[in-house]
Chains A and B, each alone.
Chain A
Amino acid sequence: MSTGATGFLERYEAAVGRLPGDSALRAAAAAAFKVAGLPGGTPRARPVEAWKYTSLRPVAEATFQASPKHEAETLLSGLTLLDAPRLVFVDGVLRADLSDASPTMTTVGHSATVAPLLTGGSFTAGVQIARFADQPDFGTLTWPDREPMVALNTMLASDGATLDVPAGVDGGIVQLVSLSGGQGDFHPRHSIRLGKGARLTVVEISAGQGVYLLNTVAEIHVAAGAHLTHIRLQDEAATAFHVSTTYADVVAGGTYDSFTLNLGGRLSRTEVHTQLSGPGATAHLNAAQILAGSQHADFTTVVSHTAPSCGSRQTVKNVLAGRSRGVFQGKIEVARHAQKTDGYQMNQALLLSPYAEVDSKPELEIFADDVKCSHGATVGELDAEQMFYLRSRGIPDADAKSILVRAFLAEALDAVADETIRGLLETAVEQWWERQKA
């Protein structure tokens, strides 16, 4: 299958009658995508500041290939998962037979296709889940007109999960697992809503085989005093493309606590837009990117402080080997009335090779006069004295490197409060390291 912007539009034209939901919205998104195209997708593409360091030309030029031995079951059994409910999407489509919902989860409305994966429970407690395929929910926060990849998702999205946690309910952990291996491009569309004082942890895990594009959009609403922990573990096939765009709105006293671990993919872009729109709202957008070979990973954030006394924290660490490239673009916007804003941003890179590259672009746009905002960036190599100290104790060179890299990452991973989840991420890093040694 040839891709490029035209390929996506042709597929939209062909499928338009069968796609669920608001067709006018999809048509508008298609029109926007037709104008914008893939960012950097052609040599003539107009440069866009938001995509300064990342070009999707490799996506435009790729030939998507199904993995010959692709089997969702095999992929799934190879993954380390938490002992918690999971919704499994294969090539972007929910597979009820591979999913495992908790008895406390319930369906809402007429989400009949989700019902079979539920083992019981009532409508009074727990997480209410629905499928995008049954109840398309495009949300209200996204900007298809400004973000070409969101436009592409809006145009082609066919499935996804809608998770609602009623006020005061602790929804526990829900895993959203994406397995890709089929030929093509997949555009999951998720929606997560937490009622007042509700709690939920969402762990998104993505993996696959072959050459494909996973282009996810998630919309998140955190109500007053609610707390959402959002973990992304991106471990896609080394030949795959991964784009994930999240929009989160957090109101008074709410917390959006997110951590992204980018390990896989030939090229990945994780973009998070967070709006702190009620006093005392908090956002943590932490990330670690560990790359080798010619991998490219871009972590881009926009935090809008639109209410007073909100806090945002971002610690982004890159470990870059080979000819890999890590990008962090972080923008903090502080509106005029958002006094007492506390914004912090730190980007650190550890370069394991003279050919690796890190690009860091912090942006502060502050219109209030009583705020605390800071940002910093460091780039370094492994410390020669520390290496010698470890080796002088008998620890071989490769193991000494691994110890220092894990120590560098520890501070970032420490931001993940739940020990089990931190363990899951540490295991993924461990496996990444083993793959590099092999």
Chain B
Amino acid sequence: MLDIRGLTASIGDKPILKGIDLTVPAGEVHAIMGPNGSGKSTLGYVLSGREDYTVTGGSATFNGADILAMEPEQRAAAGVFLAFQAPIELPGVNNANFLRTALNAIRRAHGESELDAVQFLKLARAETKRLAMPDDMLKRNVNVGFSGGEKKRNEVLQMAILRPKLAILDETDSGLDIDALKIVADGVNALRGPEFSALVITHHQRLLDHLVPNRVHVLAHGRIVRTGGPELAKELEKSGYAGLIAEAA
């Protein structure tokens, strides 16, 4: 379970998150929607430990552990995974080696045995096939020369291989066609289970048709201004955020 209480965070002197209260019980998928600049991506970065944000108050625990006190790699070992809105290119780093290094680092942190190259490739090929990714994506350098859609799928591939307990998807649907969108949704749905939670940051109702959330939260000006069921997303699609934000102000 992810439990966020009164979380405030700034970048430089500028407050971005102004008191977030949010609980995602184990087994649930929650959507975060809201206008540009409302702090959605910041929430994802703060939870995964990016250094340029300063947490100024509040707490965030995952399954009882204070994740804000952990290094990014410790958070990953604890099961936190951020699918980046703009995945980073790593020239000179082979995708398969990157994925195997990450998986083995997490396995090591859990006291599990590491996978050798052969065992890993078998696992990775099964996942690329399921995600309808060409095999050569494993051989290429991480995200280098990938199309926007390929980069997003590569994020989902990482998630499928690392099998996190808390996935934060930061606009993983943006820029995807309908088929790719379904693949992303299927990737998350495949992980759904009593031990898995997800925070799905999105602008569009469309993804939520395939990846039906338990709850939908609306973030505006660094605060959650409304929470509801899946129907809230449909309502927002029709009426937009303006009325909501005015109401909250």
19 extra interchain contacts, Cβ-Cβ under 8 A, other than A392-B76, A394-B102? A386-B88, A388-B50, A389-B87, A390-B90, A390-B98, A391-B71, A393-B105, A394-B162, A395-B73, A396-B105, A399-B101, A399-B105, A400-B73, A403-B93, A403-B98, A403-B101, A404-B93, A407-B91, A407-B92
Hey, which chain A residues are within 8 Å of B73, CB to CB?
A: 391-392, 394-397, 400
Measured CB to CB, the closest approach of chain B to A160, in angstroms, equals: 37
The 8 A CB mask of B99-116 against A (1 = contact, 0 = none) is: 001110110010000000
A394:B77 contact, CB within 8 angstroms = yes
Max count, chain B CB within 10 A of own CB: residue among A393, A397, A411: A393
Chain B residue with the shortest CB-CB distance to A391: B72
Partner of A389, one of B71, B90, B162: B90
When the two chains form their complex, are residues B105 and A406 in contact, meaning their CB atoms are under 8 A apart?
Answer: no
Q: Is B84 at the interface (CB under 8 A from chain A)?
A: yes
A405 (CB) vs chain B CBs: closest residue: B92
Question: Quick check: is B128 within 8 A (CB to CB) of the other chain?
Answer: no
List, in ascending order, chain A residues with CB within 8 A of B71's CB: 391, 397
Bound form: Cα–Cα A410–B98 in Å: 15
A97 within 8 Å of B (CB atoms)? no
Number of interface residues of A (CB under 8 A): 23
CA gap between A155 and B82 in the complex, in Å: 65
Specify which chain A residues have a CB less than 8 angstroms from the CB of B205 in the assembled complex. none
Contact B92 A392 (CB under 8 A): no
Which residues of A (403-423) have their CB < 8 Å from a CB of B?
403-404, 406-411
Task: Check if B235 is an interface residue, CB within 8 A of chain A.
Answer: no
A403→B76 CA distance, assembly (Å): 18
Max count, chain A CB within 10 A of own CB: residue among B72, B87, B88, B91:
B72
Please state if A408 and B92 are interface contacts (CB–CB under 8 Å). yes
Per the bound structure, the CA–CA distance linking A321 and B84 in Å amounts to 30
Residues of B within 8 A of A83 (CB): none
Residue B51 at the chain A interface, CB threshold 8 Å: yes
A394 near B106 with CB under 8 A, answer: yes
B102 touches A410 (CB 8 A): no
Known contacts being A397-B73, A399-B105, A407-B90, is A392 close to B49, with CB within 8 Å? yes
* A408 to B141 CA separation, bound complex (whole angstroms): 13
Q: Which residues of B contact A (CB under 8 A)?
A: 48-52, 71-73, 75-77, 81-82, 84, 87-88, 90-93, 98, 101-103, 105-106, 109, 158, 162
A residues within 8 A CB of B105?
393-396, 399
Assuming A399-B101, A403-B98, is B92 touching A391 (CB within 8 A)? no
B-binding residues in A (CB < 8 A)? 384-386, 388-397, 399-400, 403-404, 406-411
A395 and B92 contact, CB distance less than 8 A: no
Q: How far is the CB of B126 from chain A (nearest CB, A)?
A: 19
Nearest CB of chain B from residue A235's CB, rounded to whole Å: 23
Listed by A's residue number, 8 A-B pairs whose Cβ atoms lie within 8 Å are A389-B87, A390-B98, A391-B76, A392-B48, A393-B158, A399-B101, A399-B105, A404-B90
How far apart sit A410 and B90, CA to CA, in the bound complex (Å)?
12
Could you say which of B72, B91, B92 contacts A388, with CB atoms under 8 Å apart?
Answer: B72
Please name all residues of chain A whose beta carbon is closer than 8 Å to the beta carbon of B84 when the two chains form the complex: 389
> How far apart sit A123 and B114, CA to CA, in the bound complex (Å)?
53
Point out the residues of chain B lying under 8 angstroms from A390, CB to CB. 90, 98, 102
- Within 8 Å by CB of B72, from A392, A406, A407, A409, lies A392
Query: Which of A385, A396, A410 makes the CB contact (< 8 A) with B92?
Result: A410
Contact B76–A407 (Cβ < 8 Å): no
Bound together, the chains give a CA A391 to CA B76 distance in angstroms of: 8
A385 CA / B45 CA spacing, docked (Å): 11
Least distance between B97 CB and chain A CB atoms (Å): 8
Q: Determine whether the beta carbon of B92 is less than 8 Å from that of A406.
A: yes
Contacts of B162 in A (CB 8 A): 393-394
Which residues on the A side are within 8 Å of B51 (C-beta)?
A: 384, 388
CB of B56, distance to nearest CB on chain A (Å): 20
Residue of B nearest to A413 (CB): B92
The docked-state distance in angstroms from the alpha carbon of A386 to that of B51 is 12
Q: A334 CA to B194 CA in the complex, in Å?
A: 72
Evaluate contact between B88 and A393: CB separation under 8 angstroms. Answer: no
Given A407-B92, A407-B93, does the pair A394, B76 have CB atoms closer than 8 Å? yes
Residues of B within 8 A of A403 (CB): 90, 93, 98, 101
A404 to B142, CA, bound (A): 12
A392 x B82 contact (CB < 8 A)? yes
A404 to chain B: which residues have CB within 8 Å? 90, 93
Which B residues touch A410, using CB under 8 A? 92
Q: Which residues of A contact B93 (CB under 8 A)?
A: 403-404, 407
Contact check, B158 vs A394: say whether CB atoms are below 8 A apart. Answer: no
Find chain B residues with CB under 8 A from A408 CB. 92
B106 surroundings in chain A (CB, below 8 A): 394
- Chain B residues with Cβ below 8 Å from A391 are 49, 71-73, 76
Q: In chain B, what residue has the closest Cβ to A414? A: B92
Closest A residue to B109 using CB positions: A394
Complex: A397 Cα to B73 Cα, angstroms: 8
A395 with B90: in contact, given A388-B72, A389-B84 (CB under 8 Å)?
no
What residue in chain B is nearest A400 (Cβ atoms)? Answer: B73
B72, closest chain A residue (CB) = A391
Considering the complex, give the chain B residue whose CB is closest to the CB of A409: B92
Please measure, in the bound complex, the distance between the C-alpha atom of A394 and the C-alpha atom of B51, giving whole angstroms: 15
Q: Which residue of chain A is the closest to B89 with respect to CB atoms?
A: A386
Docked complex Cα distance between A404 and B88 (Å): 13
How far apart sit A367 and B82, CA to CA, in the bound complex (Å)?
Answer: 57
CB A398 to nearest CB in B, in angstroms, measures 10
Q: Which residue from chain A places its CB closest to the CB of B50 in the assembled complex?
A: A388
A138 vs B49: C-alpha distance when bound (angstroms): 62
Q: How far is the CA of A302 from the CA of B101 in the complex (A)?
A: 41
Q: Which residues of A contact B92 (CB under 8 A)?
A: 406-411
Nearest residue, chain B, Cβ from A402:
B101
Contacting residues, chain A, for B50 (C-beta < 8 A): 388, 392
Give min CB distance, B144 to chain A, whole Å. Answer: 10
Q: How far is the CA of A411 from the CA of B144 in the complex (A)?
A: 14
Bound: A409/B92 CA distance, A: 8
When the two chains form the complex, which single residue of A389, A397, A406 contacts B88, counting CB atoms closer than 8 Å? A389
